[in-house]
Amino acid sequence: MIRLENVAYNYGGGALFTGVSLHLEPGSFHFLTGPSGTGKTTLLKLCYGELLPTSGRVQLFGKDSAGMNRDEVALMRRRIGVVHQDCQFLDHLSVAENVVLPLTVAGRANEVGQDLTDLLGWVGLERQASQLPPELSGGERQRAALARAVMVSPDVLIADEPTGNVDWEMSQRLLHLLIELNRMGKAVLIATHDLNLIRAAKAQVQARVLRLQGGELQSAGAEL
């Protein structure tokens, strides 16, 4: 579904990383880890067409991202759910309206129905449905972002530090939701510093751990 082949990305006059290859297949589960500033978020952005590589090739659902026009990128995004580190909500809309936003912009708002109630129940936010995003706690925002990301039943779920602002209990809850999605056949890619989260995931699911360091992407060692 998503293939990065020998990708390099330059930033600030130098190479952030080079020679990166990555394949996300249906049902795969990847963790992306590494020190801050090595380009994890940039690599994720390449995976959902927010950025284009300096060299190499990024294929999104069989199409080269460099050759996509803005409409094609928009349609492709409906197949990729993204959970940002800072969540990125429309603060003037309620949690429920934010969660259904992917359907709204696709002109399918009338299809919401019971799905929204079920989805909010799944992430434990039924009572917060009518609240505004600034009124939510960090964990609630992460769960709302996850609910929004899966609203259109995407093929791929990409999360950038989804447990960065939450306690251990909440991070376990979020991990459980991500593993559930993966068991439904979704490809999952999570960027995180949280080694405990990776260990907890590996105990439950076949996950591949990648480490971005020194400008190269490598498989992490057996210590994880």
Partner 1 sequence: MNKVFALLSGDPNADRAVPPTGYTARLTVFTAGAMAFLAVFALSLTLATNRLADRWSSELARTATLRISAPADQIDAQVRAAMNVLDTTPGIATARPLSTQEQQDLLEPWFGPDLPLESLPIPQLIEITETDVGFDPIGLRARLQVEVPGAVLDDHTRWRDPLVQAANRIRSLGFVSLLLIGGATGAMITLAAQSALAANGQVIRVMRLVGARDTYIARAFVRRFTLRAALGALAGTLLGLVAIALLPQGDTAGGFLTGLGFKGAGWLWPFLIPPFAAIVAFFATRAAAFRTLGNLS
Q: Which residues bind partner 1 (CB under 8 A)?
A: 50, 70-71, 74-75, 77-78, 82, 84, 88-90, 92-93, 97, 101-102, 104-107, 109, 148, 152
Comparison of 5 and 50: residue with beta carbon closer to partner 1? 50
Comparison of 113 and 221: residue with beta carbon closer to partner 1? 113
Q: Pick from 113, 114, 121: which is nearest to 144 by CA?
A: 121
Gap between the Cα atoms of 84 and 78, Å rounded:
15
Q: How far is the CB of 77 from partner 1 (least distance, A)?
A: 4
Reduced to 3 states (helix: H, G, I; strand: E, B; else coil), residue 65 is helix
Torsion of CA 129, 134, 140, 144, to 10 degrees: 60
Comparison of 34 and 133: residue with beta carbon closer to partner 1? 133
Q: How far is the CB of 142 from partner 1 (least distance, A)?
A: 15
Q: How far is the CB of 149 from partner 1 (least distance, A)?
A: 9
Q: How far is the CB of 208 from partner 1 (least distance, A)?
A: 26
Comparison of 34 and 162: residue with beta carbon closer to partner 1? 162
Residues of 155-191 as b/e, b for ≥16 C-beta within 10 angstroms? bbbbbbbbbebbeeebbbbbbebbbebbeeebbbbbb
